[in-house]
């Protein structure tokens, strides 16, 4: 087993940062029905049949218990001009949706306006993953548009232009 010292953890985080990823905001409602969400870059497609996706959430995050309880959720893939949203949902704010345009999805979870794609899901399964939980969602509805992507690379947000070539 590798040594989990502070130096090791910093070096590991830096190495993980070498993998550029898209940026998503996963939205849901808390137990009181209030819209909330978290910024997630550990998102991936999983299966076309059945239609599944996955992401991870810190086991100690408040939202983790809502995912475990089966709250429907939406994975919103952020566009290049939505960096402010990524940082807003990354912070522990009382009202994460302040100033955010959104609509209610077919599953009851918020869908953020202006995203590149959105995947409305219900919980399929949750697995242990060290200090995180791996959430697998079954996609019940989705949508996608054209545009440039917001990416996360080496600790900063960047824009990734799309190619018009198909």
Tens of pLDDT, residue by residue over 79-103, are 999 999 999 999 988 899 999 999 9
| Residues 6 or more apart whose Cβ sits within 8 Å of residue 32 | none
- For residue 138, the domain's CATH number is 2.30.110.10
Residue 29 is encoded by which pair of tokens? 């409602």
| Residues 6 or more apart whose Cβ sits within 8 Å of residue 154 | 14, 17, 18
| Band of residue 72 on the pLDDT scale cut at 50, 70, 90 | very high
pLDDT at 2: 58
Residue 9 lies in a domain: no
Q: Which domain holds residue 63?
A: 23-149
The reported pTM is 0.89
Residue 159 lies in a domain: no
% of residues, the chain, pLDDT over 90: 72
pLDDT at 87: 94
pLDDT in tens, 108-138: 999 999 999 999 999 999 999 999 999 999 9
Residue 166 lies in a domain: no
DSSP state of 9: H
**C-alpha triplet 14, 89, 13: angle, nearest 5°:** 10
Do residues 113 and 103 lie in contact, with contact meaning Cβ atoms separated by under 8 Å? yes
| 3-state DSSP of 13-35 | HHHHCCCCEECEEEEEECCCCCE
pLDDT at 163: 60
If one counts the domains in the chain, the total is 1
% of residues, the chain, pLDDT over 70: 92
Q: Of 75, 55, 84, 101, nearest to 150 (Cα)?
A: 84
Average pLDDT, the chain: 90
For range 149-163, the mean pLDDT: 73
The sign of the torsion formed by the CA atoms of 42, 46, 51, 52 equals negative
């Amino acid at each position: 087993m590798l040594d989990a010292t502070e130096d090791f953890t910093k070096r590991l985080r830096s190495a993980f940062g070498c993998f550029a990823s898209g940026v998503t905001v996963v939205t849901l409602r808390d137990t009181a029905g209030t819209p909330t969400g978290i910024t997630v870059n550990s998102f991936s497609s999983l299966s076309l049949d059945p239609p599944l996706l996955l992401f991870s959430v810190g086991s100690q995050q408040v939202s983790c218990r809502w995912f475990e309880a089966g709250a429907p959720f939406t994975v919103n893939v952020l566009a290049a001009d939505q960096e402010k949203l990524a940082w807003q949902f990354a912070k522990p704010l009382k009202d994460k949706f302040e100033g955010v345009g959104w609509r209610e999805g077919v599953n009851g979870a918020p869908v953020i306006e202006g995203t590149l794609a959105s995947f409305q899901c219900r919980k399929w399964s949750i697995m242990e993953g060290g200090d995180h939980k791996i959430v697998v969602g079954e996609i019940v509805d989705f949508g996608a548009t054209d545009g440039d992507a917001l990416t996360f690379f080496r600790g900063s947000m960047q824009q990734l232009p799309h190619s018009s070539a198909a």
